[in-house]
Each structure stands twice: as structure tokens, then as C-alpha cells.
């Protein structure tokens, strides 16, 4: 199979399948009947209190998804990360979709290795096991040994290109046909979202591309001591084989497993979420499949930030610079409860049409997102927002741009993973301070423009309450003060005296002039705010804590 043939094309692949009705028709009927039987069984047994009934039902659900093949397993993996969507007894079974699927024939795997690498496994490796250590949706992993070093050798499942090509076409066909009958309002049509899913899957089965992704991802995190990316072994890698250094870690499956290994769950949640935010808001390049089978907790680190290893870089995606900055603005507008500006952000991102009257959305957006920094922050998570937004999207002309399909999948999966480790986890408690710190310490021109929008209104006057809101978000947690106070103070001073800070200095001077007179009221409030936040006592305390943490 040539690499050039493994690209996704909705039109070409549909024609290919329609010209093969002996494949197309039986498969469509099989999928429909399978889901009808599954729906009926869940309808009649889903609310049963009998543990054996639920155990059998969860096993049936696992078997159905496994039997339907790689495309459906990928969808099931997304469900397996959501303890807030799926019953715990079902979730335990669905977790097996991540890396505990039935393995394919070992002899076939050996044949693929020989075809791809030009020699048998026994010739290539000092030790090669008789069975895989893990088996996932697209391949299975062997723990081999070369020169006293253990390696992870991932071998692709046979006939994968045909299976994915066939089922993505059918998923798109059924999704497009059935979407008018479903209580959904995603605007652009489910077909375009399935196209994004299809493109990602076709990229994922090209292990040469995955190798390139792994190298790029490792380079982005090379300065981060808490993130580890396994080394690529090019000699033992090809289009259907990828080999990396072996990871000795604990999978982020559940809290108890981490605690058994004397690891602190909350430390890995923070590393996981912060690294996810960096991928989205700094690098513009992110791991789109962050389920527990692809992330390992490592020894080392500390109680605040644990050491985390990522594996499996087949499903990656990028976000444009424009979208990245607009998302940062959107979060700032949520923080400041500026719902009209938030509606403008949604419009720019493509969630709303250009013709939409944004003023009509101010009230509904406030209803969905209002209070996220106040009393309701304790109940705030993506599931709550998603539930509210689903109603909002059905009533108003919101649409989900297809380019956001993998971003949403990655963010929702990551929050689900965090909820598995800590049911009380709230993503905003990490996301808001991260954005606040980025605005206050990143002196790049693009971020500086956003900061100026926050600090000064359209008339050039200081918005003291918004600066105070940013500082409160960053420093209201005493743990953050120790690590963030000095960096923020340093960044602020450097910005003010630097060439890049000329716009800030100019706006600050103009804000002192009101009705052609000097007015120092707002400036005094801002000075008092900075004096209280960056007092000598706080700075000294921060310095001492930083020294202690280093020692």
C-alpha cells in the first residue's frame, strides 16, 4: 500500500464505497442493527439496580464497540475518559478500550515487522516477546530489548486502511442522513466534523508521520522538566512500525493506582492541565488524544507538579495563531464578564455567523457562564457548561466549526481524565490563573495588545477593577503567590521600561488627562493595588519560599 493512497478524501472515498455495494450495504445494515439492539438493551436494563445486570451490560457495550472496529473504538475511548457522562461500572469496562483490546495474531505482527524493517524480530532485537504487553485500537505494543535497553515496539493492525476508509465513509453517511432527526444544532453539519475525525485517523495510521510528530512535540517541551517524551528509535521505525524508548511509569487510570505507587494524583492533574494549556495557547500544536492509556505518571517531580510522560503522537492537530489569540481574549472576556465582547469572539472563531445580532446573545451567555468566578466556580466544569450550551445552541444559531472538533475532543478528554483522578477537580482553578499569568508576564506584541485592552478602556482610561480581577485570580490561592509573585513583578518592571512598553507608558500618561486636566484618582487606585500586591513583605516571603523549594 503506497503512502499517497492513505489520505482521506470524503468524495473519493464515498465513490469508492458506493461502487462496492456488496461491502457498503451489509456494513450499514450491520451497524444500524447493532446500535438498535444496544439501544433497546440500554433502554430496558440501563436503570437496573442489579449489579450482575450492569456488569453484563457494560461487557456487552465493550464487546459491541470492539466488534465494530477501530473507528468506533476511537469514539468509545473518548467516552471512557468521562466519569461525569458514563456510569462507574460501565467506565471500568470501557477503560479497556484504551490499551487492553483483543490482540491480533502474533505471527501476523512478526510478518509485518519483517516486511517493514527488512529482517525478522529475532534478528533485529536481542529479546522479543511472544505476546504484546498492550493492544489498542490501531496497533499493539511489544516490550523488546536491545543493548540492555528496553524499547516499545508498536505494530500496526493488519488491513487498517481498508477498515477505517470503509467505516469513516459510513459514519459520515449515517451522520448526515440522521442528523436532521437528532436534537442537535451544530450548524455546519456533522459531516464536516466527521471529515476532521477521518483526516486525523488517516494521519494516525501513518507511523512515519507519528514519528515526526513525536520529535516536534519533544522539541516544544525540551525546557520543561516535568514533561517527558520517549526517544524515537528511527532504526526500528517505518510506516507501520514505530519504536521508542520504554516508559517505566504508572498509567493515569485511577487515583488508587497512583497512591499505591506513592504518587500524588493532584500533582499530575496540574502538570497535565498546564501542559495542555501550553499546547493550546502557546505552541498552537497539541496532542488530540490525551486519554489515560497515552499518559504516564513518573517518579520524581514534587507535590505541586508531578513528572508526566506522553506517548502515542498519531493524533495531533494545530490551531492558527488568530484562533489561539481569540481564545485567550475569550477567556479574558469571561473573566471580566464582558459578554458582548465574548459574543464577538465566538463570531470571529466561526461559532456565530456575521449576520447574527450579538446583543441578543448577551443575556443567554451570561446565564451560561455568569458567576464562573464567584459562588458557582465550585460547580463549574466543562460538563455543566456543555449541558447549558447544548440548550443555548439549540435555541440560537451557534455552529461548531469543523476545525474545532479535535480541540474540543482533546479538552473534554483531558478534563475527564482529571475528573477520574479527582472528582472535585475544577478546570477553571488552573486555567484562569494560567491565562492571568500569561497576560502579566508574556511581553510578546500579540499578548501585550490583549493586556492593553484589559488595562485601558476604549477612551484610554485605566480599568483598575479589571487589573485587580487579574491579580486576584492569580494570587487568591496562597500556593501560587510563592512561585508567581516575583516573576510577575519582574515582568511588569521590564515591560514598563522596555521598548515594547512604550504603548503602555503612552496609555498610562493619557489616562491621567480628563477634560484637559490632570486626574490622579485612577492612578492612585492602581498604585495602591500594586503596593498591596507587591509589598516588600510579600516579595520577601516569595523569595524565601522559592529558595526553600530549590533546596
Distance, CA of 323 to CA of 329 (rounded, Å) = 10
Decide: 89 and 55 in contact? Cβ < 8 Å: yes
* Whether residue 289 lies in the annotated active site: yes
- Expressed in percent and rounded to 5, the helix, strand and coil fractions of the chain are 65, 10, 30
210's CB contacts (< 8 A; 6+ apart) are 204, 242, 312, 313, 314
- The residue whose grid cell reads 523569595 is 543
What's the farthest any 2 CA atoms get from each other in the chain? 86
Distance, CA of 255 to CA of 262 (rounded, Å) = 11
The DSSP bridge partners found for residue 227 are 308
Distance, CA of 185 to CA of 211 (rounded, Å) = 38
- The residue whose grid cell reads 520504554 is 246
Catalytic choice (167, 195, 203, 289): 289
Distance, CA of 261 to CA of 98 (rounded, Å) = 21
Decide: 147 and 126 in contact? Cβ < 8 Å: yes
Decide: 294 and 135 in contact? Cβ < 8 Å: no
Distance, CA of 334 to CA of 73 (rounded, Å) = 35
Sign of CA dihedral 349, 354, 358, 360: negative
Distance, CA of 340 to CA of 347 (rounded, Å) = 11
Beta strand pairing status for 227-228 and 307-310? parallel
Sign of CA dihedral 109, 113, 116, 118: negative
Distance, CA of 26 to CA of 239 (rounded, Å) = 31
Write the DSSP assignment of 286-324 as a string of letters.
EES---GGGEEEES-S-SSS-EEEE---SSEEE--HHHH
> Where in the sequence numbering do the catalytic residues fall?
289
Amino acid at each position: 500500500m503506497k503512502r499517497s493512497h492513505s489520505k482521506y478524501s470524503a468524495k473519493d472515498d464515498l465513490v469508492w464505497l458506493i461502487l462496492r455495494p456488496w461491502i457498503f450495504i451489509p456494513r450499514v445494515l450491520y451497524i444500524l442493527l447493532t446500535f438498535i439492539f444496544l439501544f433497546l438493551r440500554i433502554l430496558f436494563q440501563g436503570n437496573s439496580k442489579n449489579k450482575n445486570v450492569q456488569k453484563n451490560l457494560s461487557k456487552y457495550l465493550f464487546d459491541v464497540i470492539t466488534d465494530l472496529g477501530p473507528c468506533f473504538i476511537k469514539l468509545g475511548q473518548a467516552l471512557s475518559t468521562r466519569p461525569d457522562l458514563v456510569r462507574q461500572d460501565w467506565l471500568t469496562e470501557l477503560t479497556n478500550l484504551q490499551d487492553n483490546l483483543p490482540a491480533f495474531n502474533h505471527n501476523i505482527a512478526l510478518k509485518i515487522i519483517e516486511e517493514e524493517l527488512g529482517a525478522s524480530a529475532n534478528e533485529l532485537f536481542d529479546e522479543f516477546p511472544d505476546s504484546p504487553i498492550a493492544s489498542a485500537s490501531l496497533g499493539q505494543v511489544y516490550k523488546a530489548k536491545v543493548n540492555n535497553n528496553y524499547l516499545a515496539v508498536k505494530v500496526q493492525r493488519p488491513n487498517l486502511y481498508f477498515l477505517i476508509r470503509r467505516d469513516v465513509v459510513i459514519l459520515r453517511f449515517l451522520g448526515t442522513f440522521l442528523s436532521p432527526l437528532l436534537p442537535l444544532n451544530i450548524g455546519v453539519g456533522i459531516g464536516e466534523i466527521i471529515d476532521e475525525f477521518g483526516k486525523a485517523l488517516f494521519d494516525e495510521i501513518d507511523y512515519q508521520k507519528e514519528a515526526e510528530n513525536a520529535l516536534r512535540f519533544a522539541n516544544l517541551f525540551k525546557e520543561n522538566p516535568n514533561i517527558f517524551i520517549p526517544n524515537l528509535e528511527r532504526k526500528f521505525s517505518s510506516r507501520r512500525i514505530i519504536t521508542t524508548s520504554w516508559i517505566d511509569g504508572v498509567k493515569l487510570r485511577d487515583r488508587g493506582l497512583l497512591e499505591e505507587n506513592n504518587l500524588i494524583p493532584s500533582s499530575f492533574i496540574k502538570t497535565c492541565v498546564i501542559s495542555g494549556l501550553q499546547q493550546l495557547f502557546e505552541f498552537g500544536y497539541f496532542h488530540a488524544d490525551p486519554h489515560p492509556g497515552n499518559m504516564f505518571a513518573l517518579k520524581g517531580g514534587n507535590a505541586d507538579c508531578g513528572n508526566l510522560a506522553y506517548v502515542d503522537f498519531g493524533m495531533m492537530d494545530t490551531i492558527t495563531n488568530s484562533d489561539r489569540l481569540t481564545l485567550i481574549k475569550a477567556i479574558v472576556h469571561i473573566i471580566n464578564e464582558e459578554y458582548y465582547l465574548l459574543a464577538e469572539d465566538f463570531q470571529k472563531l466561526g461559532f456565530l455567523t456575521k449576520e447574527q445580532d450579538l446583543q441578543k446573545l448577551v443575556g443567554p451567555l451570561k446565564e451560561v457562564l455568569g458567576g464562573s468566578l464567584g459562588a458557582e466556580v465550585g460547580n463549574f466544569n466543562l460538563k455543566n457548561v456543555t449541558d447549558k450550551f447544548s440548550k443555548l445552541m439549540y435555541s440560537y444559531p451557534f455552529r461548531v466549526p469543523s476545525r474545532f472538533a479535535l480541540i474540543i475532543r482533546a479538552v473534554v478528554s483531558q478534563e475527564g481524565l482529571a475528573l477520574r483522578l479527582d472528582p472535585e477537580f475544577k478546570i477553571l482553578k488552573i486555567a484562569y490563573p494560567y491565562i492571568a499569568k500569561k497576560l502579566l508576564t508574556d511581553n510578546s506584541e500579540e499578548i501585550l495588545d490583549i493586556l492593553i485592552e484589559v488595562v485601558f478602556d476604549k477612551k484610554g482610561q485605566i480599568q483598575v477593577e479589571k487589573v485587580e480581577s487579574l491579580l486576584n485570580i492569580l494570587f487568591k490561592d496562597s500556593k501560587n503567590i510563592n512561585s508567581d509573585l516575583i516573576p510577575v513583578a519582574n515582568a511588569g518592571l521590564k515591560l514598563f521600561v522596555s521598548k515594547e512598553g512604550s504603548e503602555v507608558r503612552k496609555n498610562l500618561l493619557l489616562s491621567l488627562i480628563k477634560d484637559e486636566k490632570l486626574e490622579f484618582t485612577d492612578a492612585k487606585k492602581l498604585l495602591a493595588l500594586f503596593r498591596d500586591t507587591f509589598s516588600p513583605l510579600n516579595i520577601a516571603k516569595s523569595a524565601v519560599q522559592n529558595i526553600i523549594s530549590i533546596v
